[in-house]
Chains A and B, each alone.
Chain A
């Protein structure tokens, strides 16, 4: 099967190169008959990569340990679902996963894009094929998943214990889907630039793709936080690690795009900026891949250091130079149709929101690269950890949270003073009331107080928007409140889905601020001994050591340390944390013992138990106890955010065809009026 897999990779590579060449040259030579060949080539690349993927999966499932990748990431006693996820657990397999998903998306783009954008599609196919050819070439010339060993081990090494978690079965694919799907909007942007079709056509064509990409990135990042929290055992979910930052960067620029594209659609402004954002987002996704796979910056999440980093660096540079050169050559064609009329307008608020989002992206990128820069300039190594990122980014994040509440309150084009007063009264009152409650409760920490106050303000904004929408529907259609609420969302999914996303964001912020009040301590307990911790909500938790039990599971020896928990003297159950010594099918240890934390999650706070080890092989256990406030709300915020994203991208509910045509007609008139020519 490896021969077939390798053959399929070569076939995919050659067809992808052929497709890219034909797509660009055929379009330039004015040979539309080649478009069908190009489309078929895209499907053929997908077919070849599916064959290659099946070949690797067969190797994984049949325990063909002669394949280096199979021996490195699986063992005979690995549970079946982790054998499936081993496909993307390592560097080489994840490259194949990336390539096959990219070719799937490229095929779907060819299949699903409406015919009115047919003239863009050869270029789209050319770009996606070029990117696919690059990824396949990395496998062929740098990291083949089908490489064979000179011998066949009796058993494989098994999967890293930290990857043996349900989060790692779904988190990497989600994140990859987010990263990979960015290629499609990028391909449309390049196609629009190449074909000089720079009207809103390409924007409409990529709308769903950008939302899909943003949604997958959001879910992937949240699942990554959850995995870090339940598996890594350090007690938090975000450590500003370079790999975490790498996933956050394209999310930030994509979020900026989702806001600024509305201005282009409604007012014909920010065309250059939007193209720049799409190109920048794609380059950041490649940069993230480079960071994860090159080993250039130390990270607990990165793959083992390898030479594939050079491939990605070269690709990043070439893609950046070509894209920005193309953007530069089309610069004069991207003139805005109208100018901003007032600084007190929603357009201006969106502009500043974009400025902040891109500014935060820059700040995260800057902090991630600063150790390299510092070493180059000063010759000394430094560490840039969470204290740096928090100091720089928390104020920016709070400004962004404020704009989340301000933006929807300001009218398009120009807001009057009376309008502003009317719009701001309720949200500002909500924020002020929150502040009073916090101060009365004795909360004095600056950033948490600011976060909760601004969250109150944003909640006020969203509630007011829903209230007014429901009131308007009730007045116009005589609907009941629940019906008006549902129809409000149904008839304008983009707007109200966006507000739901804002609610998700504010829940995130509140939950993040909660961690400022976390409590942690170490303790060594003999059976029957207790330790007490007082939570920020005023509860007293008592943890009493029960003991340590050992047993064998499928691929590990488990040492489970258990404590009995009481809350204010009332029994609250048992909490267990484990040490797991993973073994292969011959009972030989495969990795260092790993730790599985014990978590008792609640709406107010999580109890987080880490079993560090035992004293002298006895049942005297060393623990770290954490009380982490509001963590549950991080996951709930992620759910709300994803739900809002799904509402926004759900088919239908947008402007009617008549309204769209009307808008496009107006746009065409504006172009003619301004003496511009289009390439339609």
Chain B
């Protein structure tokens, strides 16, 4: 089908052919956008806050280790490293991260960086309180409580058993007429079906 200008307009067969191709042929993959070139995105505002490239030094294990011990103060309950690599609308954690980097550049050790944060922001800057003073109660009380309760339970049971033993054999316990071997066999059978 051609028009007067000689160009061919698509006919019914062309539409059918195109429809068939859509059904039968595998979809052609779009060219991978931006490969090799640094293209720009159409709507940068949809990406949130523009970011600066990360410095490989920021990935240093010791920086990560320090930041995992520092709490972000944006109210997220996360540590600085996790918050700054998760909540990209947070403005606190990137600032705290820069403070960590600055302190490390001054030659401070990891512990000195943590101490500097505590001095500046208070103890809440740490993800967990230092185990000293009143905080020690926080760390030790659960373990102490469980140990004490366990010891008390053991003592109580032992005492009751002693009282019961002193009172003589239980009247409810029937006398069993069986040899030791029979009792052992019974025990083995019970072990197998015991619930």
Chain A positions near chain B (C-beta within 8 angstroms): 232-235, 239, 241-242, 298-300, 339-343, 348, 351-352, 355-356, 359-360, 362-363, 366-367, 370, 374, 377-378, 380-388, 391-393, 395-396, 411-412, 416, 419, 422-423, 468-469, 471-472, 492, 494-495, 520-524, 526-528, 546-550, 557-559, 562, 579, 581, 592-593, 595, 610, 612-620, 622, 624, 670, 673
Residues of B within 8 A of A471 (CB): 192
Closest 5 CB pairs of A and B: A547-B34, A617-B44, A363-B142, A359-B146, A388-B128
**A-B contacts, 18 listed (Cβ < 8 Å):** A234-B85, A242-B77, A367-B138, A382-B135, A385-B128, A387-B127, A387-B128, A468-B191, A472-B193, A495-B195, A521-B59, A524-B54, A527-B39, A550-B43, A581-B47, A614-B50, A615-B51, A624-B86
Residues of A within 8 A of B129 (CB): 374, 382-384, 388
**For the complex, is B172 an interface residue (Cβ under 8 Å from A)?**
yes
| Given A392-B142, A581-B46; 20 other pairs, CB 8 A cutoff | A370-B138, A374-B129, A374-B134, A383-B127, A385-B71, A387-B128, A391-B139, A392-B143, A423-B191, A523-B54, A546-B35, A557-B46, A579-B47, A592-B89, A610-B85, A614-B47, A614-B51, A615-B53, A617-B41, A622-B54
Q: What's the Cα separation between A629 and B44 when bound, in Å?
A: 34
Q: What's the Cα separation between A339 and B126 when bound, in Å?
A: 49
Interface of A is mostly: mixed
**For the complex, is B104 an interface residue (Cβ under 8 Å from A)?**
no
Q: What's the Cα separation between A472 and B172 when bound, in Å?
A: 31
Q: What's the Cα separation between A352 and B147 when bound, in Å?
A: 11
What does the 1/0 interface line of B30-43 toward A look like (CB < 8 Å)? 00111111111111
Contact among A340, A422, A549 for B160, CB-based, below 8 A: A340
Q: What's the Cα separation between A382 and B149 when bound, in Å?
A: 28
**For the complex, is B96 an interface residue (Cβ under 8 Å from A)?**
no
What does the 1/0 interface line of B56-88 toward A look like (CB < 8 Å)? 001100001000010100011111001101101
Residues of A within 8 A of B123 (CB): 380-382
Cβ-defined contact, A377 with B35, below 8 A: no
Contact among A382, A416, A522, A557 for B187, CB-based, below 8 A: A416
Cβ-defined contact, B86 with A618, below 8 A: no
Listed residue (A342, A495, A616) with the most chain B CB atoms within 10 angstroms of its CB: A616
Q: What's the Cα separation between A662 and B127 when bound, in Å?
A: 57
Residues of B within 8 A of A378 (CB): 134
Residues of B within 8 A of A472 (CB): 192-193
**For the complex, is B157 an interface residue (Cβ under 8 Å from A)?**
yes
Cβ-defined contact, A614 with B41, below 8 A: yes
Cβ-defined contact, B34 with A527, below 8 A: yes
A369–chain B nearest beta-carbon distance, Å: 10
B149–chain A nearest beta-carbon distance, Å: 6
Residues of B within 8 A of A416 (CB): 187
Q: What's the Cα separation between A612 and B154 when bound, in Å?
A: 55
Q: What's the Cα separation between A367 and B140 when bound, in Å?
A: 11
Cβ-defined contact, B157 with A348, below 8 A: yes
Q: What's the Cα separation between A573 and B9 when bound, in Å?
A: 41
Cβ-defined contact, A355 with B77, below 8 A: no
**For the complex, is B1 an interface residue (Cβ under 8 Å from A)?**
no
Cβ-defined contact, A615 with B41, below 8 A: no
Chain B residues 109-151 with CB under 8 Å of chain A are: 122-129, 134-135, 138-139, 141-143, 145-146, 149-150
Cβ-defined contact, B135 with A374, below 8 A: yes
The verdict on A550 contacting B42 (CB below 8 Å), with A300-B76, A385-B71 known, is yes
The verdict on A550 contacting B160 (CB below 8 Å), with A374-B135, A383-B128, A419-B187 known, is no
Residues of B within 8 A of A352 (CB): 150, 153
Contact among A393, A422, A620 for B38, CB-based, below 8 A: A620
Cβ-defined contact, A468 with B192, below 8 A: yes
Q: What's the Cα separation between A24 and B13 when bound, in Å?
A: 82
The verdict on A522 contacting B77 (CB below 8 Å), with A548-B33, A581-B45 known, is no
Q: What's the Cα separation between A394 and B190 when bound, in Å?
A: 35
Contact among B138, B161, B172 for A670, CB-based, below 8 A: B172
Residues of B within 8 A of A614 (CB): 41, 44, 47, 50-51
Cβ-defined contact, A340 with B157, below 8 A: yes
Cβ-defined contact, B47 with A559, below 8 A: yes
Residues of B within 8 A of A546 (CB): 32-35
**For the complex, is B164 an interface residue (Cβ under 8 Å from A)?**
yes
Cβ-defined contact, A239 with B77, below 8 A: yes
**For the complex, is B49 an interface residue (Cβ under 8 Å from A)?**
yes
What does the 1/0 interface line of B178-194 toward A look like (CB < 8 Å)? 00000000010011111
**For the complex, is B174 an interface residue (Cβ under 8 Å from A)?**
no
The verdict on A392 contacting B139 (CB below 8 Å), with A387-B69, A524-B53, A617-B44 known, is yes
A383–chain B nearest beta-carbon distance, Å: 4
Q: What's the Cα separation between A562 and B41 when bound, in Å?
A: 13
Residues of A within 8 A of B54 (CB): 522-524, 622
Q: Look across to chain B and name the residue whose beta carbon is closest to the beta carbon of A551.
A: B42
A269–chain B nearest beta-carbon distance, Å: 11
B53–chain A nearest beta-carbon distance, Å: 4
Residues of A within 8 A of B135 (CB): 374, 382
Residues of B within 8 A of A299 (CB): 77
**For the complex, is B26 an interface residue (Cβ under 8 Å from A)?**
no
The verdict on A388 contacting B138 (CB below 8 Å), with A546-B35, A547-B39 known, is yes
Q: What's the Cα separation between A395 and B194 when bound, in Å?
A: 30
Q: What's the Cα separation between A612 and B54 when bound, in Å?
A: 11
Cβ-defined contact, A559 with B192, below 8 A: no
Contact among A339, A370, A550 for B161, CB-based, below 8 A: A339
What does the 1/0 interface line of B153-166 toward A look like (CB < 8 Å)? 11001101100100
Residues of B within 8 A of A355 (CB): 146, 149-150, 153
**For the complex, is B48 an interface residue (Cβ under 8 Å from A)?**
yes
Listed residue (B39, B88, B135) with the most chain A CB atoms within 10 angstroms of its CB: B88
Q: What's the Cα separation between A381 and B71 when bound, in Å?
A: 12
The verdict on A619 contacting B33 (CB below 8 Å), with A391-B139, A612-B51 known, is yes
Residues of A within 8 A of B150 (CB): 352, 355
